[in-house]
Amino acid sequence: MLTAQRVLVTYGSRHGSTADIAQWIGDVLRARKIDVVVLPASGIQDLEPYDAVVIGGGLYSGRWQKDAARFARRNRRELDRRPVWLFSSGPLDPSASEGEIPPPKAVARIAERVHARGHMTFGGRLAEDSDGFLTRRLVAEGRGGDFRDREQIRAWGEHIAAEVNHTGPAG
């Protein structure tokens, strides 16, 4: 019998799209009887209670949202002691559903530093009511919309669940 695992799914999100994806991944893990905590990266103080970590960041100009990047940087040593997976959200088109998108250089460096077991890029969402000059401009140019693929996110969460259940407690 497998020992129960506790997984942290944490994220950096400006407009809530990446937070939603983190919650959906958490839901998949919970459905597989994994103890999951989903929290924003800015609020994590201690990784000791967690056997594995999933970190997500919204992509802005090829870089992760600052809270996600800061979390990974600050906790590099602790992350190195447990299984870690990374995800990014951001393409405002269907490209993330059509094929695997490699992480941008800045995210690839984070993945290397924390010895991530995997990275996935998911489509993003840009709502019409988003704030900020640039986001309003993108919406006006017709680049708004929701490009998140729930089935792709579910499948990736299932992959993580299978690995977490296979690995047993970190150590």
Say if residue 72's pLDDT is above 70.
yes
CB 55 within 8 A of CB 72: yes
Over residues 33-62, mean pLDDT: 94
Work out the number of other CB atoms within 10 angstroms of the CB of residue 73: 12
Structure confidence by residue, pLDDT tens digits, 144-168: 678 899 999 999 999 999 999 875 5
Q: What percent of the chain has pLDDT over 70?
A: 85
Q: What is the pLDDT of residue 84?
A: 97
What is the DSSP secondary-structure string of 69-129?
HHHHHHTHHHHTTS-EEEEEE--SSTHHHHS--PPPHHHHHHHHHTT-SEEEEE--EE-TT
Distance CA 18, CA 28 (A): 15
**What is the model's pTM?**
0.89
Q: What is the pLDDT of residue 169?
A: 46
Helices (H) and strands (E) in the chain, counts: 7, 8
Q: What is the pLDDT of residue 170?
A: 47
Structure confidence by residue, pLDDT tens digits, 86-118: 999 988 788 999 999 999 999 999 999 999 999
Say if residue 128's pLDDT is above 70.
no
Measured in degrees and rounded to the nearest 5, phi and psi for residue 130 equal -60, 145
Kindly state the DSSP code that residue 150 receives in the 8-state scheme.
H
